[in-house]
């Protein structure tokens, strides 16, 4: 008769199973024993514990899936397993086929959306787990919503395919095992002891196989978390369901396991009282009433404390929380002498913490065992490979090609490509304005060759060496190497990809004769610090390739384009994970994967609102209302909203035997306070609200707590001069107002910008807008490196419009004729590649120019154009202004000067941009051009007295709101304001004051510092 033993968490249930196995084997050393555990992680843990207890040779440790395979083999009915990549492909093919035949309409739009096929797979898996056959499902949904009909069609087609091909998925193997057991009464009869432990739920197939086996094994022992005395404990909610399911299927009554808690007193007390009604429910302001005794209270929140128990720690954000948790882990290893395998870090959802834990563990020198694998596409070697393979599929995009040429994951020596070739390719592509496209790349090489010939003929220096020719040759040989076969089978494409990846030098004695490809594995092995991780990822990538070939042979070979093959490969990689080689280390896992395991010390992280308990969501394909309706029609579909989070938290918190650290971030990503999770509050109350450790950025770390060299240096402030400078720089940069030598206070520039220097209005305006922008653009003379784009940019637009207006007003030709002449030569003259919209853009620009000419004529009634593109300085007399910086010399071109009937002058400056220009901009010293030009017309060029002026917005066909004649105090006041600013700007520049000052409306995109400026402010 099978026995079901119940005991709360931490009472040694696994230990009991191991003792029972040892006892049986002591009497009959070769007796067949089978132990069933929920998953492979627990299987590994179980084997380890058995080995540690003296070894139990010959015991078969299974999950249900491996047990099904074993039973089918013993019954001589082995059946190939449909592995996941093939299953996903099969479902894709079925959905595509049904969509083409018009039998799927509701879900047709979702068929290529990420996650849809995986959701279908999960639904089918659930239907099979609950032993609902396609025909039963089809009958139950008759008359229901069309979307359920479409799911039913996919399920039937999937199941038919499996049966026709004689394949099975894991659930199908479960069904077949049950049938094999039913039809073969001797199967499993030899089992001396069958044990089951670590589960918190059982599905109908598992129960069916288990009840058949349990009745044949001589002895069956099942352990489950529970409490006979308190069967309805909220913390045991999920276990109670499992207990009822076992009792119904196996017809057994639970017994209390005779054992004591193995947990430290504080954790044991928490285990007993967690979520118990009436315990530690505080009324705000009252002393907590708790059964926790003094000796069970949490230790001080001091990593040096050696008292076992529960600690609480809050940190500002996830990275700080991960650092604090890892420091605690290191203290357990160093101070408490715990082995790496004795410690675990658990979180409800691993993803948000994975990168921080990885990075900080590396800094602290703590090896980790991450459970559940890492997303394959995030591995740098695989990401580089996908980028490489995307080149022919996406027609050679510039940025991707440059990254591939610079990637350390490829050996390009056969193509003679190194860093200098990559840099020159970058130059060539910028000059040729290549975004993508093989033909554009080739045009760019031709352009480059021509420009090099011209430089040689007319340049001052010697003709440049023919590096461009070398790069072109390297480019062409790289294109040849990456030329995929055309329209062929997946198998052929996979061979092409494998050839590119190249052999693993660790496995191949002699290099392949068939081309070396790019030696990706050898390159990955070249860096010892990442080699293990990257080689594991590349192996997983090859498994994905094999999965695609297997899927093709299973589904029938068809030809496809390389683009389609690449899309398939990308999708398969996105769905895949990989695990670096198993090693001894601190286990890091989601709470779900750690169920059933136990450790001496556990750090349970992420206990803030919304993280744990996690919000339960209904299934998107089989909604809760569907489930209710289908249950009424006899299908045993359970709700997805079980409310199991409390049980999961109970399981997580009781994984710790001696020490439990609970941590949480107290600020959300947007900087708002983040409330604690109710589970955190619950344990905190149960422990009589002990002090919570808080890690704040401003706190100095005690050097004794430093867990890495970096932390120790920071704590002791034992910095060398470079680090000292770095710290001072950071402190200066996080102050709200910029100032000081690390904030743009430079050096004396009196000589460079002395009295002989001639200024342009735009440079002075640049200083007025942001001194640091002036420094970067005009002192360092850095230019923004823009990505080449087809079509013209704002600067080209401004030049074209200025040119057209200048020629129209000066030449007597019709506007349309002038515009067409300028447009015809614009791509060559201004160096841009027209887009297909260029024709339409010309029409639109001409229309706007006609409007602007009309509107300008309106506001110029009575005025006569006197001068166009009038130059001052640069060979002509400069404007010299008397300012507080002394005489300041200025130069520039005045777009237009008109004479009024009374003989006074009006100055106009054209603007192609639409940004508003108001009197405020002049008052702030950011717009100085107009008053400078007005004074230049009057004083430097001697054209007469200026009485007004404005900026003219060409595309808006209107004047700016800033008009010199309307400035407060009149045009003289406008001149005085400008002179005041010019003097202050020049004094500031000469003294080297270049503090960043982001404009209130945000930093302009043309500022060359936008990509690195620490004060950058996004525009509205
Ligand atoms: S990014 Fe903004 S703050 Fe920085 S230099 Fe440019 S304009 Fe100034």
**Ligand 1 contact via 982 beta carbon (within 6 Å):** no
CA of 762 to the centre of ligand 1 (A): 16
Contact 866, 898 (CB under 8 A): yes
Phi, psi angles (nearest 5°) of residue 572 = -65, -40
pLDDT of residue 454: 53
Which residue's alpha carbon is nearest to atom 3 within ligand 1?
998
Closest of 481, 383, 475 to residue 424, by C-alpha: 475
Contact 635, 691 (CB under 8 A): no
415-452 burial: b if 16+ Cβ within 10 Å, else e: bebeeebbebbbebbeebbbbbbeebbbebbebbeeeb
3 state SS of 943: coil
Contacts of 830 (CB under 8 A, 6+ apart): 792, 796, 799, 800
CA of 913 to the centre of ligand 1 (A): 20
Question: Which contacts of 568-572 are long-range, i.e. CB under 8 A and separated by 24 or more positions?
Answer: 568/89, 568/490, 569/386, 569/389, 569/497, 569/544, 569/545, 570/386, 570/390, 571/88, 572/85, 572/88, 572/89, 572/544, 572/547, 572/548
CA of 317 to the centre of ligand 1 (A): 28
Nearest-angstrom CA–CA distance, 637 and 627? 6
Contacts of 742 (CB under 8 A, 6+ apart): 728, 729, 732, 733
CA of 928 to the centre of ligand 1 (A): 19
Contacts of 911 (CB under 8 A, 6+ apart): 798, 917, 951, 952, 953, 954, 960
**Ligand 1 contact via 1006 beta carbon (within 6 Å):** no
**Ligand 1 contact via 1003 beta carbon (within 6 Å):** yes
**C-beta neighbour count of 616 within 10 angstroms:** 12
Rg of the chain over all Cα atoms, to the nearest angstrom: 38
CA of 998 to the centre of ligand 1 (A): 5
Give the position, in ligand 1's atom list, of the atom nearest the Cα of 771: 8
Q: Please tell me the pTM assigned to this model.
A: 0.70
CA of 776 to the centre of ligand 1 (A): 9
DSSP states along 545-607? HHHHHHHHHHH----B-HHHHHHHHHHHHHH-EE-PPP-S-EEEEETTTTTT--EEEEEEE--
Q: How many residues does the chain have?
A: 1020
Give the position, in ligand 1's atom list, of the atom nearest the Cα of 1015: 3
- β-strand pairing of 958-963 with 946-953: antiparallel
CA of 1008 to the centre of ligand 1 (A): 8
- β-strand pairing of 254-256 with 193-196: unpaired
Contact 538, 382 (CB under 8 A): yes
Closest of 61, 97, 56, 119 to residue 640, by C-alpha: 119
Residue with tokens 């139950």: 140
Which class for 851: exposed (0-12), middle (13-18), buried (19 or more C-beta within 10 A)?
A: middle
pLDDT of residue 307: 56
Contacts of 784 (CB under 8 A, 6+ apart): 1006, 1007, 1008, 1010, 1011
Report CA-CA distances (Å) from 633 to 41, 630, 675: 38, 5, 43
CA of 779 to the centre of ligand 1 (A): 14
**C-beta neighbour count of 705 within 10 angstroms:** 17
pLDDT of residue 467: 63
Residue with tokens 């930093």: 1003
Question: Which contacts of 463-471 are long-range, i.e. CB under 8 A and separated by 24 or more positions?
Answer: 467/420, 467/421, 467/424, 468/424, 468/428, 470/416, 470/421, 471/421, 471/424, 471/425, 471/428, 471/445
For 791-820, the pLDDT digits (tens) are 888 889 999 999 999 999 987 789 999 999
**Structure tokens, 29:** 């050393």
**Ligand 1 contact via 1010 beta carbon (within 6 Å):** yes
pLDDT of residue 702: 84
What is the Cα 364 distance to its own chain's centre?
24
Contacts of 109 (CB under 8 A, 6+ apart): none
Give, in degrees to the nearest 5, the angle at Cα 188 between 186 and 191: 125
3 state SS of 728: helix
**Ligand 1 contact via 998 beta carbon (within 6 Å):** yes
**Ligand 1 contact via 897 beta carbon (within 6 Å):** no
Of 738, 776, 1007, 1020, which is best to mutate to test ligand 1, by the most ligand atoms within 8 angstroms of its C-beta? 1007
Question: Which contacts of 563-572 are long-range, i.e. CB under 8 A and separated by 24 or more positions?
Answer: 563/393, 565/484, 565/490, 565/493, 566/389, 566/390, 566/393, 567/393, 568/89, 568/490, 569/386, 569/389, 569/497, 569/544, 569/545, 570/386, 570/390, 571/88, 572/85, 572/88, 572/89, 572/544, 572/547, 572/548
Contact 884, 982 (CB under 8 A): no
Report CA-CA distances (Å) from 864 to 226, 949, 959: 98, 14, 17
**Structure tokens, 470:** 């070398």
**Ligand 1 contact via 733 beta carbon (within 6 Å):** no
Contact 587, 594 (CB under 8 A): yes
**Ligand 1 contact via 770 beta carbon (within 6 Å):** yes
Sign of the Cα pseudo-torsion (804, 809, 810, 812, in order)? positive
pLDDT of residue 308: 61
**Ligand 1 contact via 994 beta carbon (within 6 Å):** no
Beta bridge mates, 759: 890
Q: Is 974 left (phi over 0), alpha (psi -120 to 50) or beta?
A: alpha
Nearest-angstrom CA–CA distance, 209 and 564? 42
Of 1013, 1014, 1019, which is best to mutate to test ligand 1, by the most ligand atoms within 8 angstroms of its C-beta? 1013
Give the position, in ligand 1's atom list, of the atom nearest the Cα of 1007: 6
Contact 622, 140 (CB under 8 A): no
CA of 1007 to the centre of ligand 1 (A): 6
CA of 763 to the centre of ligand 1 (A): 15
- β-strand pairing of 864-872 with 886-899: antiparallel
Give the position, in ligand 1's atom list, of the atom nearest the Cα of 773: 5
Which residue's alpha carbon is nearest to atom 5 within ligand 1?
773
21-56 burial: b if 16+ Cβ within 10 Å, else e: bbebbeeeeebbbbbbbbbebbbebbbebbeeeeeb
**Structure tokens, 206:** 């598992």
Of 771, 998, 1018, which is best to mutate to test ligand 1, by the most ligand atoms within 8 angstroms of its C-beta? 998
Residue with tokens 């913390």: 235
Of 733, 744, 746, 773, which is best to mutate to test ligand 1, by the most ligand atoms within 8 angstroms of its C-beta? 773
**Ligand 1 contact via 1013 beta carbon (within 6 Å):** yes
Phi, psi angles (nearest 5°) of residue 777 = -80, -40
**Ligand 1 contact via 895 beta carbon (within 6 Å):** no
Contact 263, 602 (CB under 8 A): no
pLDDT of residue 642: 78
pLDDT of residue 998: 93
CA of 746 to the centre of ligand 1 (A): 16
Give 776's Cβ-side CA count (13 Å radius). Answer: 19
**Ligand 1 contact via 430 beta carbon (within 6 Å):** no
Give the position, in ligand 1's atom list, of the atom nearest the Cα of 775: 5
**Ligand 1 contact via 1009 beta carbon (within 6 Å):** yes
Give the position, in ligand 1's atom list, of the atom nearest the Cα of 1004: 7
CA of 785 to the centre of ligand 1 (A): 16
Q: Which residues of the chain have pLDDT under 70?
A: 56, 278-308, 453-468, 508-516, 582-583, 1020
């Amino acid at each position: 008769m099978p026995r079901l033993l119940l005991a709360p968490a931490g009472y040694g249930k696994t230990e009991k199973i191991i003792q029972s196995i040892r006892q049986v084997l002591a009497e009959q050393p070769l007796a067949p024993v089978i132990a069933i555990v929920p998953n492979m992680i627990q299987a590994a843990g179980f084997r380890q514990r058995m080995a540690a207890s003296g070894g139990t040779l010959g015991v078969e440790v299974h999950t249900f899936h491996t047990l099904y395979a074993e039973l089918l083999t013993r019954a001589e009915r082995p059946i190939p397993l449909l592995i996941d990549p093939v299953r996903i492909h099969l479902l894709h093919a079925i959905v595509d086929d049904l969509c083409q035949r018009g039998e799927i309409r509701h879900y047709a739009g979702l068929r290529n959306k990420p996650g849809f096929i995986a959701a279908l797979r999960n639904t089918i898996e659930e239907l099979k787990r609950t032993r609902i056959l396609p025909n039963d499902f089809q009958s139950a949904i008759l008359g229901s919503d069309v979307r359920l009909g479409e799911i039913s069609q996919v399920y039937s087609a999937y199941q038919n395919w499996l049966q026709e091909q004689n394949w099975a998925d894991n659930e199908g193997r479960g069904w077949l095992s049950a049938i094999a057991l039913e039809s073969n009464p001797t199967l499993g009869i030899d089992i001396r002891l069958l044990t089951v432990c670590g589960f918190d739920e059982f599905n109908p197939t598992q129960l069916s196989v288990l009840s058949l086996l349990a009745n044949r094994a001589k002895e069956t022992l099942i352990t489950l978390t529970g409490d006979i005395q308190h069967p309805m404990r909220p913390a045991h909610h999920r276990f109670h369901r499992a207990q009822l399911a076992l009792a119904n299927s196996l017809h057994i009554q639970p017994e209390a396991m005779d054992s004591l808690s193995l947990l430290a007193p504080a954790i044991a007390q928490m285990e007993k009282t967690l979520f118990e009604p009436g315990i530690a429910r505080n009324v705000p302001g009252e002393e907590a009433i708790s059964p926790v005794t003094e000796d069970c209270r949490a230790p001080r929140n001091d990593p040096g404390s050696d008292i076992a128990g529960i600690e609480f720690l809050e940190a500002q954000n996830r990275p700080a929380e991960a650092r604090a948790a890892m420091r605690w882990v290191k203290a357990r290893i160093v101070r408490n002498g715990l082995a790496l395998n004795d410690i675990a870090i658990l979180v409800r959802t691993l993803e948000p913490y994975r990168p921080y834990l990885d990075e900080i563990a590396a800094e602290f020198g703590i090896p980790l065992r991450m459970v559940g694998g890492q997303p394959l596409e995030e591995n740098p070697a695989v990401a580089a490979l996908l980028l490489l393979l995307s080149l022919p599929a996406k027609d050679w995009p510039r940025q991707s090609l440059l990254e591939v040429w610079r990637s350390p994951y490829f050996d390009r020596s056969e193509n003679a490509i190194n860093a200098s070739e990559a840099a020159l390719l970058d130059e060539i592509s910028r000059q040729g304005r290549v975004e993508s496209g093989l033909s554009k790349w080739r045009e760019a090489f031709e352009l480059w060759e021509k420009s090099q010939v011209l430089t040689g003929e007319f340049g001052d220096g010697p003709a440049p060496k023919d590096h461009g020719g070398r790069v072109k040759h390297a480019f062409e040989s790289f294109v040849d190497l990456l030329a995929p076969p055309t329209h062929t089978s997946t198998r052929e494409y996979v061979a092409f990809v494998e050839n590119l990846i190249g052999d693993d030098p660790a496995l191949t004695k002699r290099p392949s004769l068939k081309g070396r490809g790019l030696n990706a594995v050898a390159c990955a092995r070249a860096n010892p610090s990442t080699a293990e991780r990257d080689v594991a990822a590349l192996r997983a990538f090859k498994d994905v390739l094999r999965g695609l070939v297997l899927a093709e042979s299973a589904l029938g070979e068809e030809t496809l384009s390389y683009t389609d093959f690449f899309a398939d490969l990308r999708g398969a990689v996105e769905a895949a994970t990989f695990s670096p080689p198993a090693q001894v280390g601190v286990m890091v896992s989601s709470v779900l994967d750690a169920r059933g395991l136990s450790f001496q010390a556990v750090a349970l992280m992420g206990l803030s609102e919304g993280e744990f308990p996690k919000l339960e969501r209904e299934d998107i394909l089989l909604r809760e209302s569907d489930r209710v309706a289908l249950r009424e029609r006899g299908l045993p579909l359970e709700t997805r909203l079980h409310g199991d989070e409390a049980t999961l938290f109970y399981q997580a918190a009781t994984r710790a035997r001696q020490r439990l650290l609970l941590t949480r971030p107290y600020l959300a990503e947007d900087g708002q306070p983040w409330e604690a999770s109710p589970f955190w509050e619950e344990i905190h109350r149960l422990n009589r609200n002990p002090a919570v450790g808080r890690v704040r950025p401003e706190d100095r770390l005690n050097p004794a707590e430093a867990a890495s060299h970096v932390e120790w240096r920071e704590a002791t402030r034992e910095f060398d001069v470079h680090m000292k400078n770095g710290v001072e720089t950071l402190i200066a940069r996080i102050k709200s107002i910029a100032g000081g030598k690390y904030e743009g206070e430079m050096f004396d520039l009196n000589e460079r910008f002395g009295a002989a220097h001639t200024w342009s209005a735009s440079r002075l305006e640049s200083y007025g807008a942001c001194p640091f922008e002036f420094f970067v653009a005009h002192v360092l003379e850095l230019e923004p490196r823009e990505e080449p784009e087809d079509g013209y940019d704002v600067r080209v637009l401004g030049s074209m419009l200025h040119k057209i207006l200048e020629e129209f007003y000066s030449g007597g030709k019709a506007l349309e004729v002038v515009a067409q002449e300028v447009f015809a030569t614009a791509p060559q003259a201004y160096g841009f590649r027209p887009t297909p919209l260029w024709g339409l853009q010309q029409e639109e620009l001409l229309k706007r120019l006609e409007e602007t000419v009309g509107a300008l004529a309106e506001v110029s009634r009575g005025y006569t154009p006197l001068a166009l593109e009038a130059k001052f300085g640069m060979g002509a007399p400069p404007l010299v202004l008397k300012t507080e910086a002394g005489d300041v010399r200025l130069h520039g071109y005045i777009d237009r000067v008109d004479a009024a009937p009374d003989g006074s002058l009006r100055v106009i400056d054209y603007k192609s941009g639409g940004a508003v220009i108001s009197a405020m901009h002049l008052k702030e010293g950011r717009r100085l051009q107009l008053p400078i030009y007005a004074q230049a017309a009057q004083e430097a060029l001697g054209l007469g007295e200026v009485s007004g002026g404005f900026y003219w917005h060409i595309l808006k066909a209107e004047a700016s709101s800033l008009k010199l004649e309307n400035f407060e105090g009149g045009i003289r006041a406008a001149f005085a304001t400008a002179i005041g600013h010019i003097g202050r700007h020049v004094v500031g520049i000469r003294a080297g004051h270049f503090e960043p000052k982001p404009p209130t409306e945000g930093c302009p995109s043309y500022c060359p510092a936008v990509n690195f400026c620490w004060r950058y402010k996004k525009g509205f």
